[in-house]
Amino acid sequence: MTARIDEALAYLRSGGLAEVEGMTRVAFGAGSERVACSTDVAIALCMLASEAAEWPAKHSLRVAELLEANNRYLERARAADVENARLKRIIDACDWYWPEDDTSSDSCISYPHEFFSDGHVDPGTVVAISRGGVVETRYYAQLPPAGDSDSDDDFEVDEVTEELARRKVADELARRADYPQCMVCEKQLQKGDRYFPDVNGTQCEECAPTYQQMIDEPLGHVYLDDGEQRAAEDCRAQFDAHIAAGGKPTDSMATEVLE
């Protein structure tokens, strides 16, 4: 009996069955001996068992059962290969970042914000961070605190898919872009902030000059009607008369409130 098993293994090693789909362990009752082998070895041994007169008849009855078990194993193995390939394609297309000092512990996903503090990852970059393998990969991104945020915490994205993570980053950047930025202090203006629009840019209330400062120290002296240069006293008199008549300051003088 053992000789028959050895003969089958030798036949397979010599190239009798070159295609080995994967490793599975199938036990054969060969007296008190148990044999562990690959899928194709198991099939070959089953065939030999069904043809060998010296083997007990019960072995030939197990051929169909073993073949069915092998087929189920191969289906699971192929499904796993397909899933691994799908995940690999997703990760390869993503901006990949993996901490060099630790590729296995839970810290890879528990404290992802620490990976951005070294300056190697730009804000808003979507990265894939894995914990224990590709099946637990999550997609993470981080942005500095928004000007309208109630806390100083960074804006963080932690999603199960790259598409969701990138969409959240894009939405947040678009939301922030709806409000202007002060050209002097670079403060991000938010809803309710008073700001000073000018042809050269936008200034916040703290940086923008007051009406009185513009009158006392104007950049130039021009009439409102024709834009021609005039003396400062004449410009101020015209401005005062314009306001007294119920007029409003021009855009270059106005302070507005974001709606």
User: Which of the pair, 176 or 23, is modelled with greater confidence?
Assistant: 176
Poorest-pLDDT segment among 110-124, 205-219, 228-242: 110-124
Q: pLDDT tens for residues 102-111?
A: 444 443 344 4
Q: pLDDT tens for residues 152-188?
A: 667 778 787 778 888 888 777 767 766 667 777 777 7
Please say whether the beta carbons of 166 and 126 come within 8 A: yes
Average pLDDT over residues 113-136: 57
Which pLDDT belongs to residue 89?
A: 66
Distance CA 96, CA 108 (A): 13
How many percent of the chain have pLDDT more than 90? 0
Poorest-pLDDT segment among 41-50, 121-130, 176-185: 41-50
Closest by Cα among 170, 161, 167 to 90: 161
- Which band of pLDDT confidence, cut at 50, 70 and 90, is reported for residue 22? very low
- Which band of pLDDT confidence, cut at 50, 70 and 90, is reported for residue 77? confident
Mean confidence (pLDDT) of the chain: 60
**How many CB atoms are located within 10 Å of the residue 160 CB?**
11
Is the predicted pLDDT of residue 221 greater than 50, yes or no? yes
CA torsion through residues 63, 66, 71, 77, sign = negative
- Which band of pLDDT confidence, cut at 50, 70 and 90, is reported for residue 9? low
Please say whether the beta carbons of 44 and 95 come within 8 A: no
CA torsion through residues 118, 120, 124, 126, sign = negative
Average pLDDT over residues 85-96: 59
Average pLDDT over residues 217-230: 59
Which pLDDT belongs to residue 129?
A: 61
User: Which of the pair, 221 or 157, is modelled with greater confidence?
Assistant: 157
Domain boundaries, the chain: 2-90, 96-177, 194-257
Measured in residues, the chain has a length of: 259
Is the predicted pLDDT of residue 141 greater than 50, yes or no? yes
User: Which of the pair, 8 or 243, is modelled with greater confidence?
Assistant: 243
- Which band of pLDDT confidence, cut at 50, 70 and 90, is reported for residue 10? low
Is the predicted pLDDT of residue 2 greater than 50, yes or no? yes
Distance CA 232, CA 113 (A): 56
Is the predicted pLDDT of residue 139 greater than 50, yes or no? yes
Average pLDDT over residues 5-13: 53
Which pLDDT belongs to residue 20?
A: 32
- Which band of pLDDT confidence, cut at 50, 70 and 90, is reported for residue 205? confident
